[in-house]
Chain A
Amino acid sequence: MNKQCKGYVSFVLHAHLPFVHHPESENYLEEQWLFEAISETYIPLLLNFKKLEEEKVDFRITMSLTPPLLSMLSNKLLQKRYIKYLKQHIELCKKELKRTAYDKRLNELSKYYYDRYSNDLHVFKDIYNCDIISGFKYFQDIGVLEIITCGATHGFFPILYVNEKTVKAQIAVGVETYKKFFGKAPRGIWLPECGYIPEADKYLKEFGIEYVITETHGILYANPTPIYGTYAPIVSPEGVIAFGRDIESSRQVWSSINGYPGDYNYREFYRDIGYDADYEYIKPYIAHNGVRVQTGIKYHRITGDTEYKDYYNPRWALDSVEKQAGHFFDSRQKQITELSSKMDTPPIILCPYDAELYGHWWYEGPDWLYILFKKIYYDNCDYKLITPSEYIDKYPNIQVSTPCRSSWGANGYNGVWLNELNDYIHRHLHTAGDRMVELAQKFPNEKNKLRKQALNQCARELLLAQSSDWLFIITNGTMVDYAKKRVKDHIGRFTKLYEQIKSNTIDEKFLKDIYNKDKIFDDIDYMIYY
């Protein structure tokens, strides 16, 4: 639609999960993070993009699909296990249809979930042939979605850069993985946890990255002060462009008090038949050790600040989605009208979120995006959706300023990933990083096949240990044992291999075993640490 354009809104969804892959056992609940995200976020987003495409709505959205996520989505074993997960859910839904026959409203909801999981199976197997990534790639290829990359394993740069080569490797592997899946170079990167440090700019440049996303103060506290605040990007002296998050729109979505996801008509996250149903009945569908966990089948809506929860009603939820999409739409109009009177260049309102907010946490989120995008396209407004790349191409004159060291964690710096709960880990990450560089320098361009495999596996173990997720989980206090175990496993495997390589006693069986477990970055070349 042709409309006067005074400014832009840019949605950036960060899709990331840590690499969880346990061929040795099916009992790791953590593998379900992926399955939940596929069913609740990735498939709903793809289906909504499809609807928009079919309705000829010209929209724009940007998503980072991180290398660990891409690796898991393309992993045959995990695909197989996802299908199994869906089949179990469909089986449970069938039982639910019988169990809830006594109550019409409840029974309708059981039917709703039965349809939904059945459709997931159909979409996953028949439409995408188990390859969700191809779905995202399609929308990138038709020009509505811009996919950006991320650090190889979401390593947090402000902590790793004590050894800059480890930051360089995170960037290099992130870019290479992207190329492998999407057949071209990424223009942008989601810095893991939005952790910006000026020291990384030279490597970002080296690997062809044009822009990064930062937290609000990454721009506001920049030097010199940006004359357009967060409403235009800045470019660092090294030549990396930084877009900063808009506070106002973020708060509207996120606020714990009156944020959109708290609407009383929306689905209640914490009521789940995994907790509510009769124990013997639900036992086959919860954790293997009998602990009640969420199943994803949730029959209640938020209802209010009460213990009592009413049944979920998808139609009511849709009404709230419409209302809130309208509110967001109007708020951006107002914001852009005000800003454009103060700026000589069209403002860009950058709205970055965790992708898993949409659908997994805020169940109605993907529908909200769909309705909002339709509104922006059809309704009367003087702004448009844009991707950061398009904005750069349209408005290439950008103020030079160095972004502020920052992250999107609580308080805005490094405290979430470095505090008294997890600080014992950092020396191990640093030492392993130094040792990896030592190995690369000691055995450059290794010809011996076994030693080369061992060196590459060392690089994988190091990268996996560096995931910011482990530090985050330890701080956050859920699944702590698993996160601690992962750090120990990867540092342990790295150290064992490091010693074996140095003493020329590589245990082939061990190497093969951990290669199969930590099956990520098949084409990695340890020489990135040289």
Chain B
Amino acid sequence: MPRKTKEAIENEEIEKPVKKSTSKKTSTKKESVKKVSKKEDKSTSKPVKETKTTKKNSSTKKENKTTKKTSSTKKENKTSKTTTSIKSSTKKTSTRARKTKNKEEIITTLEYYDLPYRYNETLVKILAQTPNTLFVYWDIADDDRKKLEETYGSDFFTNTNPVLIIHNETKNYTFEVEINDFANSWYLHLNDTDCKYNIELGRKFKNIPINIENNIQNNYIYICSSNNIITPNDHILFNYPNQVQFKNVKTNTIFLKEIKNMKFILNKENYNEIYSNNFINEFLRNNPTSNIK
């Protein structure tokens, strides 16, 4: 395994710039985020926030395209791979060595796979990447696209922009991020950590057609909702209750200890002495386990 070896770091250094140029991804842009003042009046929200969103173009598409290319120009690629790996002779190569045809291979079914381009489902899913970054991906099934076009006109998808509406269930506020149809996933910056979030995928008209004006509230057409995610906490809470709950894990009995009667605990002072925030952050950032720097 190439885990946490200097080798990995070295290669990262060598490979990263190359990757950047080929992966044509991620432009970071700042967007001002509007409060959404519709739907169940959840907008008892916070003041308007400046939110950073990282835009990403549909990587799956590209991934697929490149891999398809690879399959058609397999031979060429093989040779080019070999040359690159010879050049960087200090690394373990993943290049599968050129096959020598032996008996074992002949009896095996020839397999070649690409990841499916899409699954034709209407969905939006979210994952927490960090305490304040959500990763979102989505798709709209062909049937649902058709239905939308039947309801709102055949130019529905050109006349509307996709939006993500982010609900913070813990702090009870909502905000909106406009996205675009070139993407099928997105990174959203969040200001509040340790909160429950879910997201709606919807669309907004650039110009609302007159004939359907009365049917649309707040210029918003709901498409689907995501799963719920609770984002991680990112700091020591120092929320010592007056009574600390203990459990005897053998008997399953719960009992309370008065914190002020406890002479020996790591109070805030001890905590800071042993684990200063810088110390923890530094440790986590350079976490030796994964050596990503």
CB neighbours (8 Å) of A393 from chain B are 250
Q: Is A203 an interface residue (CB 8 A)?
A: no
- In the bound complex, residues from chain B placing their C-beta under 8 Å from that of A29 are 92-94, 96-97
Contact B19 A289 (CB under 8 A): no
* Pair A356/B3 contact, Cβ less than 8 Å: yes
Contact B266–A239 (Cβ < 8 Å): no
Residues of B contacting A522 in the complex (Cβ-Cβ under 8 angstroms): none
Q: Are A492 and B113 in contact (CB under 8 A)?
A: yes
Kindly state the separation between the CA atoms of A424 and B183 in the bound complex, as whole angstroms.
12
Q: Is the CB of A416 within 8 A of B60?
A: no
B85 lies within 8 A of A400 (CB): no
Partner pick for A287 among B93, B100, B125, B266, CB 8 A cutoff: B93
CA distance A363 to B234 in the complex (A): 36
A306 to chain B, nearest CB (A): 15
Query: Which residues from chain B sit less than 8 Å from chain A, CB to CB?
Result: 1-8, 11-12, 15-16, 19, 23, 25-26, 56, 59-60, 63, 67, 81-82, 85-86, 89-100, 102, 104-105, 108-109, 111, 113-116, 119, 121, 125, 127-131, 135, 137, 139, 185, 187, 227, 230-241, 244-252, 254-255, 259, 262-266, 270-271, 274-275, 279-280, 283-293
At the interface, yes or no: A314 with Cβ under 8 Å from chain B?
Answer: no
B118–chain A nearest beta-carbon distance, Å: 9
B232 adjacent to A495 (CB under 8 Å)? no
The interface residues of chain A lying within 8 Å CB-to-CB of B23 are: 420-421
Give 30 A-B contacts (CB < 8 Å), ordered by A residue. Answer: A25-B104, A29-B96, A159-B127, A162-B127, A215-B284, A223-B237, A228-B265, A256-B288, A341-B264, A342-B265, A342-B270, A356-B3, A396-B249, A397-B247, A398-B246, A400-B247, A406-B232, A408-B290, A410-B284, A411-B130, A419-B129, A420-B56, A420-B59, A420-B187, A427-B139, A476-B290, A477-B15, A479-B92, A489-B113, A513-B108
Query: Nearest-CB distance from B123 to chain A (Å)?
Result: 9
B212 smallest CB distance to A (angstroms): 32
Give the residue name and chain of the B residue nearest to A487 (CB). Answer: B115
The answer to whether A291 and B86 touch (CB under 8 A), given A397-B247, A405-B233, A408-B287, is yes
Contact status A162-B94, CB under 8 Å? no
Task: Report the separation of the CA atoms of residues A393 and B251 in the bound assembly, to the nearest whole angstrom.
Answer: 11
CA distance A162 to B135 in the complex (A): 12
The reply to whether B290 and A410 form a contact with Cβ atoms under 8 Å apart is: yes
Q: Is A143 an interface residue (CB 8 A)?
A: no
**Which of A110-118, A172-180, A246-254 lies at the interface with chain B?**
A246-254
B241 and A224 contacting across the interface, CB-CB below 8 Å: yes
**Further contacts, 9 of them, CB under 8 A, given A410-B291, A478-B91:** A229-B270, A247-B280, A254-B288, A256-B286, A343-B266, A396-B249, A408-B290, A410-B289, A469-B1
> What's the least CB distance linking B252 to chain A, in Å?
8
CB distance from A349 to the nearest CB of B (A): 12
Q: Give the number of chain A interface residues (Cβ < 8 Å).
A: 113
Contact (Cβ within 8 A) B8 A488: no
Residues from chain A with a CB closer than 8 A to the CB of B86 are 290-292
- Assess the B286–A431 pair: CB atoms within 8 A: no
In the complex the two chains form, is B240's CB within 8 Å of A224's CB? Answer: yes
Q: How far is the CA of A241 from the CA of B289 in the complex (A)?
A: 23
Nearest neighbor of B63 in chain A, beta-carbon distance: A424
A328 at the interface (CB under 8 A from B): no
Establish whether residues B108 and A24, one from each chain, have CB atoms under 8 Å apart when the complex forms.
yes
Is A309 located at the chain interface by the 8 A CB criterion?
Answer: no
Residues of B within 8 A of A479 (CB): 2, 92-94
* A221 and B234 contact, CB distance less than 8 A: yes
**Whole-angstrom distance between the Cβ of B196 and the nearest chain A Cβ:** 12
Inside 8 A of A294's CB, which chain B residues have their CB? 92
Q: Does A135 contact B (CB under 8 A)?
A: no
Q: Which residue of B lies closest to A163 (CB)?
A: B227
- Counting chain A CB atoms within 10 Å of each CB, which of B63, B94, B130 scores highest? B94
Check: A138 CB closer than 8 A to any chain B CB: no
Decide if A255 is an interface residue (CB 8 Å cutoff): yes
Q: Which of B4, B60, B67 contacts A354 (CB 8 A)?
A: B4
Task: Tell whether, in the assembled complex, residue B92 and residue A410 are in contact, meaning their CB atoms are under 8 Å apart.
Answer: no
Q: Known contacts A29-B93, A228-B265, A488-B67; decide if A412 and B109 are in contact (CB<8 Å).
A: no
Contact partners of B81 in chain A: CB under 8 A: 481
A146 and B16 CA atoms in complex are apart in Å by 41
Given contacts A23-B104, A400-B246, contact A216 B292 (CB under 8 A): no
Task: For chain A, residues 501 to 530, give those with C-beta under 8 angstroms from any C-beta of chain B.
Answer: 509-510, 513, 517
Distance A477 CA – B67 CA, assembled complex (angstroms): 18
Residue A288 CB within 8 A of the other chain: yes
- Assess the A420–B114 pair: CB atoms within 8 A: no
- CB-contact partner of A158 in B128, B233, B254, under 8 A: B128
Are B288's CB and A255's CB within 8 A? yes
Chain A: which residue is nearest B116 at the CB level?
A495
In contact, A420 and B25 (Cβ under 8 angstroms) = yes
Q: Which residues of B contact A428 (CB under 8 A)?
A: 115-116
Q: Residue A123 at the B interface, CB < 8 A?
A: no
Is A64 interfacial (CB 8 A cutoff)? Answer: no
Q: Is the CB of A478 within 8 A of B2?
A: yes
Inside 8 A of A292's CB, which chain B residues have their CB? Answer: 86, 89
Contact between A416 and B292, CB atoms less than 8 A apart: yes
Q: Is the CB of A400 within 8 A of B97?
A: no
A225 near B2 (CB under 8 angstroms)?
Answer: no
Docked Cα-Cα span, A162 to B115, in Å, equals: 20
How many angstroms between the C-alpha atoms of A517 and B7 in the bound complex?
Answer: 30
State the CA gap A469–B290 with chains docked (Å): 11
Query: Quick check: B63 and A414 within 8 Å, CB to CB?
Result: no
**Residues in A whose Cβ lies below 8 Å from that of B19:** 421, 477
The answer to whether A415 has its CB under 8 Å from any CB of chain B is yes
A475 at the interface (CB under 8 A from B): yes
A418 at the A/B interface (Cβ < 8 Å)? yes
Are A344 and B263 touching (Cβ within 8 A)? yes
Q: How far is the CB of B236 from chain A (nearest CB, A)?
A: 5
Cβ-closest chain B residue relative to A340 = B264
- B59: min CB distance to chain A, Å: 4
Is the beta-carbon distance between B263 and A410 smaller than 8 angstroms?
Answer: no
A292-B89, A398-B247, A492-B113 known; A481 vs B95 contact (CB < 8 Å): yes
In the assembled complex, A361 has its CB within 8 A of some CB on chain B: yes
Tell me if A220 counts as interface (CB < 8 A to partner B): yes
- Chain B residues with CB under 8 Å of A158's CB are 127-128
Q: How far is the CA of A239 from the CA of B250 in the complex (A)?
A: 11
CA distance A408 to B280 in the complex (A): 12
Question: Whole-angstrom distance from the CB of A281 to the nearest CB of chain B?
Answer: 15
- Which of A247, A361, A489 touches B111 (beta carbons < 8 Å)? A489
Say if the beta carbon of A270 comes within 8 Å of chain B. yes
Q: Which of A270, A289, A342, A405 lies in contact with B97, CB distance below 8 A? A: A289
Chain A residues with CB below 8 A from B232, complex form: 221, 404-406, 413
Question: Which residues on A sit within 8 Å (CB–CB) of B233?
Answer: 221, 223, 404-405
Sorted nearest first, the 8 A-B pairs with minimum C-beta distance are A492-B113, A288-B97, A479-B94, A254-B288, A289-B97, A405-B232, A482-B94, A412-B284
- Residue numbers in A under 8 Å from B8 (CB-CB): 476-478
Q: Compute how far the CA of A521 lies from the CA of B1 in the bound complex, rounded to whole angstroms.
A: 22
Pick the contact of B113 from A259, A405, A493 — CB < 8 Å?
A493
CA distance A272 to B168 in the complex (A): 54
A27-B99, A356-B1, A405-B128 given; A225·B238 CB < 8 A: yes
